[in-house]
Structure formats: structure tokens, C-alpha cells
Structure 1
Amino acid sequence: MRKISVLTAVLLISYLFSNGKNAPAYEADVIIYGGTSAAIIAAVQVHKMGKSVIVVSPDKHLGGLSSGGLGYTDTGNKSVIGGLARDFYHRIWQRYQLADTWNWQKPSEYGNKGQGTPAIDGAARTMWIFEPHVAEQVFEDYVRENNIRVYRDEWLDRKQGVKKKAGKVQTITTLSGGTYTGKVFIDATYEGDLMAAAGVSYTTGREANATYGETWNGVQTGVLHHGHYFKQNISPYRIAGDPRSGLLPRVSGGDPGVKGGADHRIQAYCFRLCLTDHAANRIPFPQPEGYDAGQYELLTRVLDSGWNEVFNKFDLIPNHKTDVNNHGPFSMDNIGMNYDYPEASYARRKEIIHEHEVYQQGLLYFLANDPRVPAAVQARMKTWGLSADEFTDNGHWPHQLYIREARRMKGMFVMTEQTVLGKSRVPQSIGMGSYTLDAHNAQRYVKKDGFVQNEGDIGVDIKDPYPVAFGAILPQQQECSNLLVPVCLSASHIAYGSIRMEPVFMILGQSAATAAVLAINSRKAVQEVEYEQLKQQLLKDQQHLEQ
């Protein structure tokens, strides 16, 4: 036998490994990419229907926003939340029936205020308002009880990691070298990375109103909803009233665009903050590295104008904690700092996420410590801090940025303003939404009169719940015939503003999983699944398909 040198052997081993020969390989009927609430619910449904499933999660923590700070649930009409989504909120209720869950507060002391209904609905045995760590434990319970294989901190190789054959995804490979083979794939990420890498058509930003005959899409200059705008004339210039002095930080000097026109802008992201005013569990707001008080100069002018709504979205959750959201003209939303996020590299996304962290951490520190902040605001802010028992491996800071919108698929059916408002028919319902048409600001600009204003925040009430079409989670068949997309689904910007709620993502995750299993059983493309069969299974599993 011919002998080879040690160097040659090393090079050969290196070559084989680099070509994936020794990389780990996994196989299941359904491969789910993502660690969101939709991903875990989808996995549970696949398992319950008797198929094997693997969750490939870029996240270490499961549940996305549902366990990442959004504890004051945006639900809309709760009567149309069924299936495993309702089971999730039932399990939350069960957790809060245990005395040791109330470690900082007695149940009787909690105000039980929810969005339109009580937070704790004893009659329905559901709970809609909760702490992040409690929600995360429920997701972990789902994984444990159903023996779901989850591979964490596994990031899709977005350049070369999707292998297709005859219009079907065969395998996906992560940056660590792991390869996952499946019959059907589900993209349950907030970003739509698998969908994009698989060559499925999508869009970002805002369509023109003319595209789908809408009213609330596109640039919305002069439309002032929700109170998240400048109510007083505030100068955006470093020297008030002097354009030659330059703009203050976080104000755009660009043209805001034509009202109703399309643009590339993305509604603002933020972290949903779990703060506490309970001294035994409170950590004072730290000064973040890179803190610059000058970033909040515009806020000082807002406060000086008499605006006093700093604490209006400190929504209470159990155990003396809050889910803090954006409120007002200058708040938690980091307006205009996320435009490139959907298409950005992983490295660039980390930079964007870090910038959002520094911005919000700096905002908290500024309000609690800067002498320019009104004394009453500062004194009250000092009573709040980070919750010591939340996000304990991440400096008590949420592990999930609120990606309100990234990519949106161009699928078999496009959900639009008309379908959400009940003005046009939706075929083949797989679940229901009911939340307000809701979009956050997309830009902060200078008006022609020289004062600053925000743009893009829309809030339009919906009269009745509406169905979400099966076709909205299906790519065009010629693009990919074994992929479902329940999170970055096919919808216009403004329609997505209503659909993009965590209960709906769970509903659509379960429905996508059901369609995946039926496609496998029938050996058909996901687009060819017989709707009547899908409908009957969804109804059997207590999904609500109509009001």
C-alpha cells in the first residue's frame, strides 16, 4: 500500500471537511428555520400529526418576541385566537395559577388590565399579559413534552446554504457546516432569510397606494395618528431656528417623498423593555458604552415644550414589571436606523442591533440622570430599572429586537388593506387576524416650514376579524414547491401592519405545519394541498377560520 505523508493526510482531511464530508447531517420530514413563536408552534403541530421535525434556530432563546419582552400581548379580538395559539395563552394562565410564579407580588395586587379585556381571563382559562421568562418556559415545555429536536445558534448560510432540485429545497446548510435534509421546509424567521435564499420573490419597504388601490400604504406625510408625532413646533437645528447650524442627531435632511408614493423605508424597530419598580429586583439603568447625551437633544426640546407623556406606555405585567413600548414623538423607536436591516449581512445586522441597544439604553440613562430632564420626570424614572430576574444571560436586556417588518413574500395571494378591512373576499382561510392597521413611524424629517415631524405611524381600526388566505403563506409554485412562509407572508406593508402580531404568527405557524404534513402525505407540492382537507384538519385542531 502506498504511504502518504502526514502533511498530505492533513490536507486531505481538511479538503474533505471543507467539502462537507464530515460535517454533521440531519434529516426529518419537516425542517423549520427560526426560533420564533411561529417556529415552535409549527414544530408541535408537525409532531402531533405524526411526522418528524427539526427546528434549526439562529436564536439561543425560543419564542421570539413572545418571550423577548412583548408581554403586553397585541391580540385584537381574542375570540378568533384558537388552536395551539390559544393553548399557549392557556399554559401561561396555568403558570400564573401557581403561587411561586408570583414571587414579587400577590395576584390580588395585580391590576389585571389587558388590551380591551382582563389580562387574566378566568372564565376562558387564558392569560394574555405575562413576564418574558414565563413565556420562554412555556416554549421550552413544548419542546420537552414533544421531544422536538432543536439546534440552536445555527445560522443559515445565506449565500450557498440552500440546495434546490426541480424547484424543491433539498437541504439547508448552516454556517457551522450542519446540513438538514427535509421533504418540506418552513421559514418561520422574522427576516425571511430562508425564503430569500431559496429564490422566492419578495419585497421590502412600502408600496405605493396605487399598487393595490390602498389608502394607508406608502409615504404618509401629514397623517398624524396615535400621538407619536410632534404636537408643538420644534426646531430640528442645532441652533434653534438656524438651518445653517446643521441638523440635530436623528433627524433626516432628505426629501420625505410624495404622499402615497412607494419608498424603501422600514417602520421603526425597538426593544420591548421589561422594567421593574420593585427595589428588591431592580437594577439601576447603566450608562452604556458609547453613550452620547447629544443624541437626545431633540427630546430635551420636546420636554421643554411641556410634553409629559414619558410613562404612558409603561404597560404593567405581573410582579411589578412592565412591557415598555414606544410612545410620543421621541421615544423607544429608533426611527430611520433600520432601513438596510432586511437585506443586511449577519455582521451588519449585529451592528444595527447594537446601535438600537445603545440608543435605548442611553435613552433610559439620559431620562434618569441628565440635568436637562425635568425633575419630576427624572425622579420617577429613577424608581424604574432593569429586572434582575429577566434575560439573565444578556445583561438583563431583551435578547430579541422587535423586527416589526422586514421582507414580505410575493406569494400566491397578497393580503391587502381591502382584505384586512373586509372590503374584498379572502379565499381559503387558514386563520384569522383582527388587530388595527398598525405601522410605526418610518422617518423623522424637516417640514417645509422648518419644523421637525415624524412620518409613517398609522392606526386605523378594524371593524371585524378577517381571514388570512392559504395563498398568503405559499410561494409561487414555479419558484419553490416545498416551502411555507407563515411570518414573512405575502402582504402589503399596511396589511402586514395588522397581521404581524404574535398570536397570528402562532396561528399561521400551526396552519403552515398542517399544510406541510398534508403535502407530504399526498406527495404533492404545498401549493397543491387540497384546501377542503386542510380546512377539516384545522377545524379539528380548533383553529378559527371565520367569525
Structure 2
Amino acid sequence: MSSQFEVVVYGATSAGVCAAVAAAETGARTVLLEPGRHLGGMTSGGLGYTDVGDVRVLGGMADRLRRDIAEHYGVAPGHYAGPEPHVAEAIFRRWLDEARVEVIFDAQVTGAEVVEGRIRSIRTAEGIEVVGAVFVDASYEGDLLPLAGVPFAIGREDRALYGERFAGRQELAPGRHNMPPWISPFRDDPTGLEPGALLPQIKPEPLAEVGAGDGGVMSFGYRVCLTTAPDRIPITRRVGYDEAHWELGRRFFAEHGDLPTGRYIGLEENLPGGKCDGNSLGPFSLSVLDGSAWEYPDASLDRREELRLHHLHHAQDFLWFLGHDKAVPAHIRQEFQRWGLPADEFADTGHLPHQLYVREARRMLGEHVLTEHDLATPVAHPDAIAMGSYHFDIREVQRTWRWAYEHPAPIAYVATEGYLSVAVPPYQVPYRALLPRREDCANLLVAVCVSASHVAFSSIRMEPQYQMLGHAAGVAAALAAGAPGPAAGAVHEVDVPRLQQRLADAGQVLAL
């Protein structure tokens, strides 16, 4: 089976939906391919309570979504930080229907035909071939990049590479995201010499030097939607639940059980309908810190599925652990037992989200690599197509352990590494950050795995930002596809002032 389109968007994340709608509304015949069965990625997959940053930079389709959410609930824009997951997906579905975008689900890309530096077509695991003039990679994983021969980076770089202060492995510093002191990482053997001495949920490999690049990515997890509604689905003990897997949690609560209950995943009605978007708020939470996320970006599809289930089972078992393990303080257990899974969310995935929170995966090495310097001291970009403002938000990268050389004998202790939060002023995102280098590919735009360092990407990676970048990529793709003669499909030849005018007319904020 083969189909031909002007613009082919891969990945129905919120960036992918916005790219496909924008391309279609600009006049291009557009198809949206999604490897799963849902629209919206994390925006409809559990991350309802949405981080925005400076609302002055929120424009274009991100602002359109904000207004549509407000209209749905009959409130002022911004009254809610985000919608219920099913509402977000319904809005995206309506947008695609109104723009007459063809959507193909269960379309995992597995191959691409590249001719003289241009993608001619991509193939899916189901044997569908899709031919296009311009392609947009809007997947969280950046799965079109290697197929198109476009170079990319994964994980933390060395500080020396771009001269970034916050690059590389971080110091082991105290803070609310770190473990309390002196929790042993070992099961029974204080020397750590016995085979299997290390507890589960700890990354066993040694730490890199401070500031060194180690390829580490931010931890993944599931953002769970919870409710206290009478029809809630109770949290149940999963078949395969392993008591020994949670020994670290027991030790944590023995040292740190006096925190308010919500400090573990944020139990508060922060979504419409009395629902809660459960986030990872501390050193022992929904984020999986054993280093398994490091493997995910470049793993095979089968291995990715194993890793996804590893994270899903962590979320299920964590909720059960908090509500039922006797080592958890009684006030926490009692509070968690009040909550369950919403009956009207994620019905086809057991009422747990359909989307793993892939905080970062591949990052393109493109025409311009955005770094810490572009954001911390904003650079004026004449080809700006959107703005960002969220702080550097590097979530925990690993849970590790170290020796403290105390008298009379060394003491091993658990530590959490990688968390960093540093404010930045509003900054411009240039069109070049969406483009591969000319010599690598001529007809690909990237809306999620943009050309940025690990540090810069930690700010760019917010869902509203993805929506604005998707909007820009969709308009640019349509303009490139509609260009006459040899320029047809050439994303590097797009008339940038014309692109910027189209975006500005649609409400995109390009400068303050």
C-alpha cells in the first residue's frame, strides 16, 4: 500500500497535531502518522497540569489550545493549568477533522527511502509506504532522524563541548529531590562485596566525573491521573508485584516519613473534574531512576516496549506501595487509599496513561545547536519562529550510591543525581534549530527533538513549546512543499520573512 502527500508528519504528539493542522490550514495535503492509537502525546497522556513559563510568549496554536480548553469548561483562559486528558484528545481530534488531515494509527516508522539527500518515502511496520514532498518528525524519540541519515546526540554532553556551566554530570548536592543521608544501598552486606548486594532501583554503574558527558538522559515515568470520585477504579496489587523491589522505599520512609502526603506525587485536585495530575515531586516517586531511561532512545522497538512496561509497572506498584505497605506511615497510606483511577480516562489502557513520559531522547545536530548561552543570555535570532521561557528544568538523571570515608570504616549511602532548576528570561527559537544541516537532509523538519544541547533542551521540552514549534514546522513544511521548481520541498529555501508573517498572523509570538 502506498500513498502520496505534500506534507507527512510523523508522531501525533501535541507538536505533531499542531504541525499537521498548520500544514493543512496553509493549503498542503497532509497526513499524520502515529505509532500508537492516541492523539496528543503527553498533553492527553497524563500531563494535564501544564507548565507554561512566561505567558507573554504563549502564542499561535498553543494559545489556541488554551482558549479552546477555556471555552470547553466555560472559564477564562488560564483558569485551569490544563485539561482532563480526554478533553485534550477530543480537542485535537476536532482540529484534525476540521483541517481534513488524514490520520493513520499503528504506524510505527521502520524505514525510509532517501534519494540524493531527500526523503522520498517512509515505511511503517504494517507495510504502508507514504510518499511526501516534506516530512516533519514530531515524535518524542526522533525516530526519523537516523532513517534519514541525520546526525543526533543523546544525553548529557561534556561541559567543554559548548562551554556550558550546567552541562555534564552534576555534583551530589542536598535538596528536596535528593535522598536523605545515610540510607544504605546494600541489602544485607555492609561491604557491598557479595553478589547482588545492591538494592533494586539503584543504577549500579560508577559515576562519571563532575562536568563530564556521560550520555545520561532525564528519568522517565508516568504522570498518573487520579481522582476521589465515587466511581473511581481502585488501585490494585499487580500480578508480579515484588515486595523486595520496594526495600529502598521502606528505608526512605523510615528516615523521611514526616513529609506531607502530597509531596510524593502531588495529591491535589489540580485538574478540572476534581482530578489530580500526579507528578514526581521528590527523591522517591513516579520517576524511574535506575538508569533504564538511558537505554531507551536508541533501543530496538522490542526493547523499548520492555522498558515502557518496566516504567508502567513501577507506576502501578508505587501507587500500591504507598497505599498498603506497612512501612509507609499510616497518614500517607490513609490518604492514598482515598484516591483511585478515573473511570472516564484511559479506558483502553486499564485507566493508566497511554503515553510514557519520554522527557528527552535523540536531539538533532542541525543548522544551529541551541545551547545554554542562547537561553541564559538571550540571543536575537533574525529567523525566530517562536519563543520559550521555561527555566532549565533537568529532572533527576539517576539514583546512585557513594562511599563516605568516615571513621572507623567507610559508609555507603544512596544519592540522587542530576536535578537542576535555573530560571531563564524569555528567549527566541530560530528556524535553524528545526532544520538538519543542508548536507544531511533537504526536506525534513524536526519539531520535538530539535537541535539543542541537553541543557537547552531541558527548557524547550515543555508541551506548550512543542505546540508552538509544531505550528512553525507545519507552516514551513507547507510553504516548502508548495514552492515552485527546484525549491519544491526544500525546507532550507523557505522564505523566512513570509513564514514569520504567516505565524504572526496566526498569533505566534516572535519577540517581546
TM bin (shorter chain): over 0.9
SS for the counterpart of 2:17 is helix
- Residue 92 of structure 1 pairs with residue 69 of structure 2: yes
| Letter matched to residue 333 of structure 2 | Q
CA shift in 2, pair 1:344/1:310, >3 Å: farther
Find 2:185's aligned residue among 222, 236, 242: 236
CA–CA separation in structure 1 for the residues paired with 2:468 and 2:439? 26
| 2:477 aligned partner | 516
- Residue 417 of structure 1 pairs with residue 372 of structure 2: yes
Q: What is the CA-CA distance between 1:427 and the residue it aligns to?
A: 4.3
SS for the counterpart of 2:262 is coil
| 2:408 aligned partner | none
- Residue 531 of structure 1 pairs with residue 496 of structure 2: yes
Q: What is the CA-CA distance between 1:354 and the residue it aligns to?
A: 0.5
| 2:143 aligned partner | 193
| 2:510 aligned partner | 545
- Paired residues, what number? 494
Q: What is the CA-CA distance between 1:57 and the residue it aligns to?
A: 1.0
| Letter matched to residue 275 of structure 1 | L
Q: What is the CA-CA distance between 1:367 and the residue it aligns to?
A: 1.2
Q: What is the CA-CA distance between 1:252 and the residue it aligns to?
A: 2.6
- The answer to which of 29-38 and 214-223 deviates more is 214-223
| Letter matched to residue 453 of structure 2 | S
Q: Which segments of 5 or more consecutive residues in structure 1 lack a partner in the other structure? A: 1-23, 98-119
Find 1:458's aligned residue among 420, 423, 428: 420
| 1:478 aligned partner | 439
CA–CA separation in structure 1 for the residues paired with 2:380 and 2:189? 52
Q: Deviations over 1:305-356 (max 9, x none)?
A: 1342442223521112110111211111001122111111111111000011
Q: Deviations over 1:507-544 (max 9, x none)?
A: 00010111112222334221122222221111111110
**Is the 1:45–1:510 Cα contact (8 Å) retained in structure 2?**
yes
| Letter matched to residue 400 of structure 2 | Y
CA–CA separation in structure 2 for the residues paired with 1:65 and 1:340? 20
**Is the 2:203–2:398 Cα contact (8 Å) retained in structure 1?**
yes
SS for the counterpart of 1:503 is helix
CA–CA separation in structure 2 for the residues paired with 1:266 and 1:60? 26
| 2:118 aligned partner | 168
| Letter matched to residue 48 of structure 1 | E
| 1:372 aligned partner | 327
| 2:279 aligned partner | 325
CA shift in 2, pair 1:334/1:309, >3 Å: farther
Q: What is the CA-CA distance between 1:289 and the residue it aligns to?
A: 2.3
| 1:354 aligned partner | 309
Q: Deviations over 1:102-142 (max 9, x none)?
A: xxxxxxxxxxxxxxxxxx6x2x5774322101111101111
Find 2:318's aligned residue among 357, 363, 370: 363
Q: Deviations over 1:251-270 (max 9, x none)?
A: 23321111010012211001
> What aligned pairs does 1:114-133 form with structure 2 within 5 A after superposition?
122=76, 124=77, 127-133=80-86
Q: Deviations over 1:351-376 (max 9, x none)?
A: 00001111111111111111221111
SS for the counterpart of 1:319 is helix
Q: Deviations over 1:467-508 (max 9, x none)?
A: 111111100111110000010000000110000000010100
Q: Which has the larger Rg?
A: 1
Q: What is the CA-CA distance between 1:386 and the residue it aligns to?
A: 1.1
**Is the 1:409–1:475 Cα contact (8 Å) retained in structure 2?**
yes
CA–CA separation in structure 2 for the residues paired with 1:54 and 1:522? 19
Q: What is the CA-CA distance between 1:167 and the residue it aligns to?
A: 0.9
Find 1:139's aligned residue among 78, 92, 95: 92
CA–CA separation in structure 2 for the residues paired with 1:128 and 1:347? 35
Q: Deviations over 1:17-71 (max 9, x none)?
A: xxxxxxx211111000111011111111111111110011112110000000100
SS for the counterpart of 2:248 is helix
Q: Deviations over 1:420-477 (max 9, x none)?
A: 1125444421101111100111111112312110101111112x21111111110011
CA–CA separation in structure 2 for the residues paired with 1:511 and 1:223? 39
**Is the 1:419–1:426 Cα contact (8 Å) retained in structure 2?**
no
CA shift in 2, pair 1:543/1:423, >3 Å: closer
- The answer to which of 30-39 and 511-520 deviates more is 511-520
Find 1:440's aligned residue among 371, 390, 395: 395
CA–CA separation in structure 2 for the residues paired with 1:36 and 1:127? 21
Q: Deviations over 1:154-198 (max 9, x none)?
A: 1111xxx20111211111111111111111000000000012211
**Is the 2:10–2:136 Cα contact (8 Å) retained in structure 1?**
yes
| Letter matched to residue 162 of structure 1 | A
| 1:62 aligned partner | 39
Identity %: 39
| Letter matched to residue 370 of structure 2 | M
- The answer to which of 489-498 and 327-336 deviates more is 327-336
**Is the 2:80–2:272 Cα contact (8 Å) retained in structure 1?**
no
| 2:357 aligned partner | 402
